[in-house]
Structure 1
Amino acid sequence: MARPLDQLPKAHLHLHFTGSMRHTTLIELARDQGLHLPDALEEDWPPKLRATDERGWFRFQRLYDIARSVLRRDEHVYRLLREAAEDEAAEGSRWLEIQVDPSGFAPRFGGLTRTLELMLDAAARAAEHAGIGIAMIVAANRTRHPLDANTLARLAGQYIDRGVVGFGLSNDERRGQARDFDRAFRIAKKAGLLAVPHGGELLGPRSVAECVDDLDADRVGHGVRAAESERLMHRLADRQICCEVCPTSNVGLGVVEDASDVPLRRLFDAGVPIALGADDPLLFGSRLLPQYRLAREEYGFDDAEVAELARQSVRSSAAPESVKKDLLKGVDAWLSAD
C-alpha cells in the first residue's frame, strides 16, 4: 500500500504570491468589491492557457493582473497568506518560500517598503497560525528596467533578518536577458540572499546556463529545459543547483503537451536536485500535492524516490539548519513507516 503523500514532510520553493490565492477567495473578493472577472477566471476556471507565443503570454499575464487587482486592503493580504499556509500544512508542506514582486502592489499599499513589511508581517502570522515555516523571496520583473531590480535587491537585503531569504527574477524569460540583471543579483548575493531566477521554461538550456553563469543562481525556477543538454545537467548536478520543477504549470503554459512529457525522471536520474512546485495554483488549478502524485503515478517514482524528492526540496531551501534537520528526520520516519 502506497504511503500517504500528504503526510510526507516537504518544502515548497516555487509558489507565487497572487497565484497562491484560493479560487473561492478570488471570487468572493471580486464580488464583495463589485469587480468583474472574465469567464476564464470564473465559469471556465481553470483557464485554458498556452503561453509559448507572445499572444498567449499576454493573455496569461492579463489574467494574472486581474486576479492581483482584487487584493486592495491589508486584510486581503493577511487572508491570502493565512489560507495559503493552511493549504500548505494540509499537504504536508512544512516550509514555504513564497515569491512576490512588491512593485505590483506598492501603489495601493503605501510604497515598496510598507508593502514588503505588510507581507512579511502577514507571513509571520500565517506561519504561526498554520504551524509551518514561511519565508519570502523578493522577485524582480524581466519586463521592467534593470534599475528597478537593483532597487528591489537593496530592499530585499534590508529584510534578510525579517523573513526575506532570496532574490528572484520572473515573468517572460524571452524579455530581458539574464545578464541585464547581474548587478541586482550581485547586490542580493552580497547581502546574503539566495539567487533564484526563473529560466529554462519558455526558452531552452541556454536560458538555464545564463542564470547560472550570469546570475550565480543557487536554484533555477523551472529549469526543465536543462534536460535537453547532458552537459548542462551534469553541471547542475555537480554544483547541486536545484531546479524548481512545476509539472502542471508546464502543461498549462504549453511548455509540454502532456504531463508525461515533463522530463522529471531525466533530471532526477542525472542527479539534478529537484524541488517540486505548484507555481500559480490559481491559474493552473492544482497545488503542491498533485505534483507529488504525478511523480508517483506518471513518472514511476517509488516511495524511496518520492522521499528523496522531498529531501532535495528541504536541502535546497533556505530553512534554518535545525528546521532542515527536523524535516529530514520526518522524511525518514515517513519512509520507514509500515
Structure 2
Amino acid sequence: MEQVLAPSRPVTEPAQRDLRLLPKAHLHLHFTGSMRPATLMELADKHGVRLPEALSSGEPPKLRATDERGWFRFQRLYDSARSVLRDEEDIRRLVHEAAEDERADGSGWLEIQVDPTSYAPRLGGLIPALELVLDAVDEASRMSGVGIRVLVAANRMKHPLDARTLARLAVRYADQGVVGFGLSNDERRGLARDFDRAFRIATDAGLLAAPHGGELAGPSSIRSCLDDLGAGRVGHGVRAAESPALLRRLAEDQVTCEVCPASNVALGVYEHPQDVPLRRLFDAGVPMALGADDPLLFGSRLAEQYELAREHHGFTDEELAELARQSIRGSLAPEPVQGRLLAGVDAWLEAPAG
C-alpha cells in the first residue's frame, strides 16, 4: 500500500523587528563619505568633473587598503568625490540629504566628522568653510528632527602644526555646534603622539578627543590614542580584540569604540563580515557605536551595520537594542535627547516582532 505523506510545512524564519525603526546614534560618519551616489554624479555633471570609472559605475568601488598602494587608491577616490563639493549649495545639499538618510535609518543623533581644510580653498578659507558647514547642520537638524553636531578632524598625513590650527578653530566654535576633535587618515602614517599638543588644546577647552585608531594599525595605535591624546572615544578600535588587556581597559574605562564593520571588510582589514570581532568586543563589555564610515565608498549606511551584526554574528534583538543604547550613551547628545532615544529603544524592544 502506497504511503501518503503529509505535505511538508514551510520552515519560517522567526519574526524580526525592523532595524530602521530602532532609535540609535551615529558617531562615525565622514562628511564627503556621507554623500549619496546619485548626488555625486549630479554634482560632477554640474561642475564638469570627470570622475574615475570606479566612482561612476553606479556600484561601490572594489577597495583594499591593507597595503600602501591600496590606501593610496582609496584616498584618490575619496579626493575625487570631494572635488565635486564646490559651492554653498553643494554643501547644504549634502548635509540635508545626510540628515534625511539618518532619519530613515532610525538615527536620532549624528556627529559628523569634517576637515574644513579640504573645502577651504573653494569656500573662502577655513573660517567661512566651517561656518557654512555649521549653518547647514543647524538648518538640516531643525528640518529633519535629527540632532546633528560636528567633530573637526585633523589629517595625520599633514604636519602637526596644521592640526593645532584646526584645534584652535574647533575650540572657537565649541558653542556653535562643534563638540569634538578627531584625527583621521592612515593610522600607519603620522604617529598619534605627534598630535598631542593639538589634542591638548581641544580637550582643555572641553571638546571630546575622538581620534582614529585600531583599524589599519593594531592595538598599540589604540593605546597611543588613549595615553597620548586622551581619547574619550576611539574611531574604529576594532583591533582591540587582539589584546585581552586592552579589551579589559576599554571595558573598565567605558571608552566607546566607533566600529564600522562594512568598511572593515571593504578595506580588507577582515576578509569576511563574520570575521569582524563584534561579538568579542561586545562580550568583553567594550561599548560600541556602530558606524557607516563612508557609505559613498562602502555601499552601506547605518541600519545595515546592525543588519550585519544580526545576520553574521547572531545578535538578538535584545543585543541589538543594547548596541543602540551604547551608541546613544557614547554620544554627546544632551541628556534630554539621550533620554528620549533610550526610551525609544525600550519601546522598540517591547513592540511585537514581525
TM-score, with length taken from structure 2: 0.95
> 1:79 is matched by which residue type in structure 2?
R
Which of 233, 246, 256 is the matching residue for 1:242? Answer: 256
In the alignment, the residues of structure 2 paired with residue 280 and residue 158 of structure 1 have an alpha-carbon distance, to the nearest angstrom, of: 27
Percent sequence identity is 70
In the alignment, the residues of structure 2 paired with residue 307 and residue 175 of structure 1 have an alpha-carbon distance, to the nearest angstrom, of: 36
Q: Which residue of 2 aligns with 1:299?
A: 313
Q: Does 1:113 align with 2:116?
A: no
Q: Which residue of 1 aligns with 2:246?
A: 232
Q: Does 1:264 align with 2:278?
A: yes
In the alignment, the residues of structure 2 paired with residue 90 and residue 192 of structure 1 have an alpha-carbon distance, to the nearest angstrom, of: 32
Which of 169, 184, 195 is the matching residue for 1:181? Answer: 195
Which of 77, 101, 104 is the matching residue for 1:90? Answer: 104
Q: CA deviation at 1:44?
A: 5.9
SS at match of 2:63: coil
In the alignment, the residues of structure 1 paired with residue 162 and residue 59 of structure 2 have an alpha-carbon distance, to the nearest angstrom, of: 33
Q: Which residue of 2 aligns with 1:203?
A: 217
Q: Does 1:289 align with 2:270?
A: no
Which one has a bigger Cα radius of gyration? Answer: 2
- Misfit runs of 4+, over 6 Å: none
SS at match of 1:277: coil
> 1:155 is matched by which residue type in structure 2?
L
For residues 244-296 of structure 1, what are the alpha-carbon distances to aligned partners after superposition, in whole Å with 9 as ceiling and x for unaligned?
00011001111011111000000000000000000000000111011000111
In the alignment, the residues of structure 1 paired with residue 140 and residue 222 of structure 2 have an alpha-carbon distance, to the nearest angstrom, of: 33
In the alignment, the residues of structure 1 paired with residue 228 and residue 47 of structure 2 have an alpha-carbon distance, to the nearest angstrom, of: 44
Indicate conservation of the 8 Å contact 2:171/2:207, yes or no. yes
Indicate conservation of the 8 Å contact 1:173/1:203, yes or no. yes
In the alignment, the residues of structure 2 paired with residue 200 and residue 181 of structure 1 have an alpha-carbon distance, to the nearest angstrom, of: 17
Q: Does 1:99 align with 2:113?
A: yes
Structure 1, unmatched stretches of 5+, are none
Q: Does 1:25 align with 2:39?
A: yes
> 1:160 is matched by which residue type in structure 2?
A
TM-score, with length taken from structure 1: 0.99
SS at match of 1:201: coil
Q: CA deviation at 1:38?
A: 1.0
Q: Which residue of 2 aligns with 1:277?
A: 291
In the alignment, the residues of structure 1 paired with residue 214 and residue 244 of structure 2 have an alpha-carbon distance, to the nearest angstrom, of: 14
For residues 25-70 of structure 1, what are the alpha-carbon distances to aligned partners after superposition, in whole Å with 9 as ceiling and x for unaligned?
0001111222111110011621110011110000000000000000
Q: CA deviation at 1:95?
A: 0.1
| Aligned residue-pair number | 338
Q: Which residue of 1 aligns with 2:143?
A: 129
SS at match of 2:319: helix
Indicate conservation of the 8 Å contact 1:30/1:37, yes or no. yes
> 1:295 is matched by which residue type in structure 2?
A
Indicate conservation of the 8 Å contact 1:39/1:45, yes or no. no
SS at match of 1:51: coil
In the alignment, the residues of structure 2 paired with residue 169 and residue 32 of structure 1 have an alpha-carbon distance, to the nearest angstrom, of: 31
> 1:70 is matched by which residue type in structure 2?
V
C-alpha RMSD over aligned residues? 0.7
Which of 316, 322, 331 is the matching residue for 1:317? Answer: 331
Q: CA deviation at 1:130?
A: 1.0
For residues 308-335 of structure 1, what are the alpha-carbon distances to aligned partners after superposition, in whole Å with 9 as ceiling and x for unaligned?
0000000000101111111111111111
Which of 209, 212, 233 is the matching residue for 2:226? Answer: 212
For residues 206-257 of structure 1, what are the alpha-carbon distances to aligned partners after superposition, in whole Å with 9 as ceiling and x for unaligned?
1111101111101100001100000000000000001100011001111011
In the alignment, the residues of structure 1 paired with residue 135 and residue 330 of structure 2 have an alpha-carbon distance, to the nearest angstrom, of: 24
SS at match of 1:298: helix
> 1:239 is matched by which residue type in structure 2?
D
